[in-house]
Structure 1
Amino acid sequence: MLLNELVTIDPEILGGQPVFKGTRVPVETLFDHLEAGVSLNEFLDDFPGVTKEQAVAVLEVANKFLTAKNLATLYETATG
């Protein structure tokens, strides 16, 4: 699944904050919940508009993005 199939960024929705496509649920909320020790299933119960497939796919994208190789490229881009 492509990122643009998972996440929407629209200035008319929560001021352009990235949200799960088809919802008004910020992607950041998933990470906040997980960081607080809330299980993925509890997150999905709290936000029924987000599918398990969407949440897992976003976590997989984040995992791939934050590999050492990709993170080094990100640092180069940010400091370049």
Structure 2
Amino acid sequence: MKNLTRITLDPNIMGGKPCIRGLRVTVGTIIGLLASGITIDAVLAMYPYLQKEDIMEALAYAAWRSEEIEVPLATA
């Protein structure tokens, strides 16, 4: 996975959820808007301080996270 430079995780911003460039816009918000049928151009109009690269990196991050698996820890 390439280095995602636009996705930040800071416990002081939005409770540590992955955000776009330290702004109070979460990856989940962006993905939810796109999933509901809103276009990238419409998202950019709603959040004029975002860039198309932010949206694309949010998509890449969401795709990467969806491929992760949780492995249960062995118990004694």
Q: TM-score, normalised by structure 2?
A: 0.75
Summarize the alignment of residues 13-28 of structure 1 with structure 2, pairs less than 5 Å apart: 13-28=13-28
**Distance in structure 1 (CA, Å) of the matches to 2:26 and 2:47:** 10
Cα offset for 1:52? 0.7
Going from structure 1 to structure 2, the CA distance change for 1:13 and 1:36 (only over 3 Å counts) comes to same
- Identify the match of residue 71 of structure 2 among 48, 58, 79: 79
Q: Identify the structure with bigger relative contact order (alpha carbons < 8 Å, sequence gap 6+).
A: 2
Going from structure 1 to structure 2, the CA distance change for 1:20 and 1:46 (only over 3 Å counts) comes to same
**Aligned-residue RMSD, C-alpha:** 2.1
Going from structure 1 to structure 2, the CA distance change for 1:58 and 1:44 (only over 3 Å counts) comes to same
**Distance in structure 1 (CA, Å) of the matches to 2:15 and 2:62:** 22
Residue identity (%)? 30
Q: TM-score, normalised by structure 1?
A: 0.72
User: What is the number of residues matched between the two proteins?
Assistant: 71
* Structure 2: 5+ residue stretches without partners: none
**Distance in structure 1 (CA, Å) of the matches to 2:7 and 2:21:** 5
* Structure 1: 5+ residue stretches without partners: none
Letter in 1 for 2:57: A
Going from structure 1 to structure 2, the CA distance change for 1:57 and 1:44 (only over 3 Å counts) comes to same
Higher normalized helix content (fraction of residues):
1
> Per-residue displacement from partner, 1:9-36 (whole Å, max 9, x unpaired)?
1111111111101411111111100111
